[in-house]
Structure 1
């Protein structure tokens, strides 16, 4: 009996070449170009630019733009991770039991995930609208003055307002991942826990959560990534305002590059943001992997 070799023939490697060319063209080369432009005064149009060294980074540090954007982005990401996962896990557990019409509820919760960010942003802009928006109208119905409620126009609440929209849109996909994990939990383990005298909260804390630790890790990582690349709702709903209250890292890069036409400065900001994101992501992965092993 002849066995086929598991070693791939050399000619098969040529099929990888198109993907490598695309990866090189649209990923590697732009990254090197980003680092090169970060030390110039390139404005995005004029091919004649000068090398300014670390001046762009010094300007960002002195103006405090970077630190304000990092603060807003970290707050935004923290809200998505904590409240988004708690909400999704609660919904998943509620819909993982024998319930009439649970397929309908699952579908209804998942539907917003299918909408584009532009559509969601415009819809929620009307929901938040002062006096005539849905929230203000509901306040009027119960006898409260909703005309003064201006969530997106308030420096203290705008960032929280757009983060709620992001959670609402993505809670369905997060819930699906938790549902998949919960359905893999062996019922015999839950029965054993009940026999040992565990109440429902103890079953969740001591049995279910440890067994879905992989799902928790996935959703936390996705939440952090989604928070760090936040741009859509800051652009659509508030345009970074009021003031700089919703200026996230990605929005600030966009504004510096395409509004102020300072591509050199925007490139420097991108490099700084890239390093910050790498540090946060690596630290988070190390922490989550340790927690997963402990569970």
Structure 2
């Protein structure tokens, strides 16, 4: 009797050697563009490398100690945390409210969904320049409206005040990003079974009770996703600090990423910037792990 040939097709695709060949290009790219740069980052953080001259010396943990003594690190962490908390609260509240409204049976809701998402399509550079003119004292849009209603538009200078500048640029980030948050909430709300809503209405629940007792608990996983995405966006904030305020006034809008850029490319202290990046990496990982644990716990409770 003739022996049957081994089946080919789908089974051949999972043959170990061939599988490794498929994965190999991705592994090579991961090694070149992630693993090697990370090791170089840790290496340069203990040197006085300036980014150009390769005749540098090892300085041990001097860069780390300098960062702590200067107070630059603490200030940047504080600004970044305030920025992240602001956009997490603002973007999620605005996105959830808009999603709840636009999930109702309203005429023209498709248009309003599209209009709310449009800002997310613009690049950060375009948005930054537009809002710089909106915030401009005396001749900007907000100042002009103040002048029209009899207020002093020249007194409006949100980006020039160290107490309000950080909230000014975080508001721009919320405006640009809440559309994406809204779309994710809409996707979550549309998975809620209509029969549960009808049952709640039969039991005499008000609209607020339906939202608090049925809708929000059922989209807890969606809330977790949006919170994590907004935390990540806040912790890597750079664009609007660079475009709108250049870290000012003073150091009031110096975020972690902006400070790393400034130390590395303006001050040309790549070793110190690498040390700053290492500390920032540890801080971001710690915050992310805390958020995941906290939100997963809340998700289970809901």
Report TM bin, short chain: over 0.9
By how many angstroms is 1:5 displaced?
A: 4.3
Query: Which residue of the partner structure matches residue 133 of structure 1?
Result: 140
Q: How does 1:148-187 map to 2 (within 5 A)?
A: 148-187=155-194
Picking from 102, 126, 133, the partner of 1:95 is: 102
Partner of 1:223: 230
> In the TM superposition, what are the counterparts of 1:43-62 in structure 2 within 5 Å?
43-62=50-69
Match of 2:14 among 8, 11, 22: 8
Aligned mate of 2:247, from 237, 240, 249: 240
1:154-200 deviation digits (Å, cap 9, x = unpaired): 00000000000000001111100000111111111011111222111
Does 2:259 align with 1:259?
Answer: no
Please identify, of 199-208 and 230-239, the stretch whose mean Cα deviation from structure 2 is larger. 199-208
Q: Which runs of 4+ in 1 moved over 4 A?
A: 1-7
Say which is worse superposed, 171-180 or 189-198, in terms of deviation: 189-198
Deviations for 1:132-163, whole angstroms, at most 9, x for unmatched residues? 00000111111111111100000000000000
Secondary structure at the counterpart of residue 158 of structure 2:
coil
Task: Provide closer, same or farther for how the CA distance between residues 46 and 12 of structure 1 changes in structure 2, counting only shifts above 3 A.
Answer: same
How many angstroms apart in 2 are the aligned matches of 1:189 and 1:12?
46
* Aligned pairs (5 A) from 1:55-134: 55-134=62-141
Cα distance, 1:12 vs structure 2: 2.9
Structure 1 residue 7: Cα displacement:
7.6
The C-alpha deviation readout for 1:207-241, integer Å capped at 9, x for no partner, is 00001111101100000000000000000000000
CA distance in 1, matches of 2:206, 2:198: 11
Distance in structure 1 (CA, Å) of the matches to 2:88 and 2:11: 47
Q: Distance in 2 between matches of 1:88 and 1:129?
A: 27
In 1, the alpha carbon distance for the partners of 2:78 and 2:19 equals 48
Q: TM-score, normalised by structure 1?
A: 0.98
Gaps of 5+ in 1: none
Question: Would you say the 8 A contact 2:102–2:109 is kept in 1?
Answer: yes
Q: Which moved more, 1:94-103 or 1:66-75?
A: 94-103
- Tell which deviates more after alignment, 108-117 or 192-201: 192-201
Structure 1 residue 58: deviation in Å? 0.5
RMSD in angstroms over aligned alpha carbons? 1.3
Q: Deviation at 1:15?
A: 1.5
**Any idea what SS the aligned residue of 1:152 has?**
helix
Contact between 2:247 and 2:253, CA under 8 Å: does it hold in 1? yes
- Select between 16-25 and 2-11 the one with higher mean Cα deviation: 2-11
Confirm or deny that 1:249 pairs with 2:243.
Answer: no
- Aligned equivalents of 1:80 and 1:105: distance in 2? 22
Give, in whole Å, the separation in 2 of the partners of 1:264 and 1:77. Answer: 27
